[in-house]
Amino acid sequence: MDRLLRTLLFSSFLLLSLFATSSYAQTQNCSSFAFRNNQLFATCNPLPVLNSFLHWSYHPDNHTVDLAYRHRGVTDSDWVAWGLNIDGSRMIGAQCLVALRNSSGQIHAYTSPVTGYGTQLAQGELSFHVPRIEAEFTNNEFIIFATLVLPSGRTSFNQAWQNGGVSGQTLQIHAQSGDNMRSFGTVDFANGELGSDGGSSVTSRQRRRHVHGVLNAVSWGVLMPMGAVFARYLKVFKAANPAWFYLHVACQTSAYAVGVAGWGTGLKLGSDSTGIKFNTHRNIGITLFCLGTLQVFALLLRPKPDHKYRLYWNIYHHAIGYTVIILSIINVFEGFDALNGQKNWKRAYIGVIIAIGAIAVLLEAFTWFIVIKRKKSDSNKYPQNGTNGGNAYSNGTHQQQQA
């Protein structure tokens, strides 16, 4: 058993280190990118194609967005563009921000509405106000900075981005194959998510949110309570000893291992969304990780049943265990609120918790029935008041067996 626990602990921390390494490597290209003007953005998402990134901060009070569009792997004889399509999708109707190096050698940024396939991205006003736009070019990367006043009543839009060559002062058409024909999707400035043209996720960020939710709901929210049910109700049956203990340990250590993986995805999500905070969810998650780690290590220090400190260990183990279960269920619901719209998941989890609770209530009643029946049976077998020494001897034997 000690070898099993050590193996599970090592695997859990290995998973955590892998997540942390992945987090560090990926954030070097996105949320940890340092702009030369020291500007910070609340959200960053890598766009799925054309080596591009979109950073932004959404301000709900005035419905504006400060953004930076980065396009890597280009030269200063290229043009780059990013835009929103308010009423359509893809290119036609896109309201674009464009950057290139002009004839005087300066990096020039301007707005351009796309009205047809033959566009040369001529400068013009957009359908929404753009109070600020500027651009820079360094290390084969264009960066467009802009402030957008979003159309009222919505935060989710279709987006498109492109690049092409410049000949003289004429913008050449972009490539008609490969990634240049797949550079479109959706963006929601309020919740920080990107999607494909049909609205499905195309970035790893939303998938990580779902993986994070599933891992933690299954581990902390389901396996932990199940492990407690095994420990409390199975040990009343003599035939289940010591099977209940191994089931309890298997459930709790599995929950901890899966929970560490979920915690790792949470760290990655937090590092990718520096401006999006779910403080209650985060703080409870950190507390659960610490308490869960204490519980796992406490198994390695468990005194023998007849040890004088076993009573205190039991009190500690039960108190921490039930605290973890309560906080776990609370934090799962906090997570559902953070997912913002996953009502089916929430309903499914409520059903699971109700089922576990109902089973626990039934087992609690049945356990008390078994215990009371067993006490009555022992009382009839070993009566306390007797008329001969045989009864007294029997009573003493019974007391010795109980001890």
- Tens-place pLDDT, residues 282-310: 889 899 989 988 888 887 788 888 888 88
Look up residue 117 and give its two tokens: 């396939």
pLDDT tens-digit readout, 358-378 = 988 998 888 888 878 877 776
Task: Give the other-Cβ count within 10 Å of 126's Cβ.
Answer: 19
Q: How far apart are CA 377 and CA 338, in angstroms?
A: 54
Q: Which domains does the chain have, with CATH numbers?
A: 43-199 (2.60.40.1210), 202-375 (1.20.120.1770)
Q: How far apart are CA 320 and CA 295, in angstroms?
A: 7
Q: How far apart are CA 269 and CA 209, in angstroms?
A: 7
pLDDT at 40: 87
List Cβ neighbours of 202 (8 Å cut-off, separation of 6 or more). Answer: 48, 185, 194, 195, 196
Annotated binding-site residue? 317 = yes
Bridge partners, 98 (sequence order) = 81, 110
pLDDT tens-digit readout, 93-126 = 889 999 999 888 899 999 999 887 777 788 899 9
Q: How far apart are CA 140 and CA 36, in angstroms?
A: 15
pLDDT at 69: 95
Q: What angle do helix axes 224-233 and 310-339 make, rounded to 10 degrees?
A: 150
Cα–Cα distance list, 322 to 246, 295, 311, 313 (Å):
19, 11, 17, 14
* Main-chain dihedrals φ then ψ at residue 275, nearest 5 degrees: -100, -5
Q: Which of 99, 94, 273, 112 is nearest to 194 (CA)?
A: 273
Annotated binding-site residue? 71 = no
Whether this prediction's pTM lies above 0.85 is answered by no
Annotated binding-site residue? 210 = no
Look up residue 270 and give its two tokens: 């937090």
Annotated binding-site residue? 248 = yes
Q: Binning pLDDT at 50, 70 and 90, where does residue 6 land? A: very low
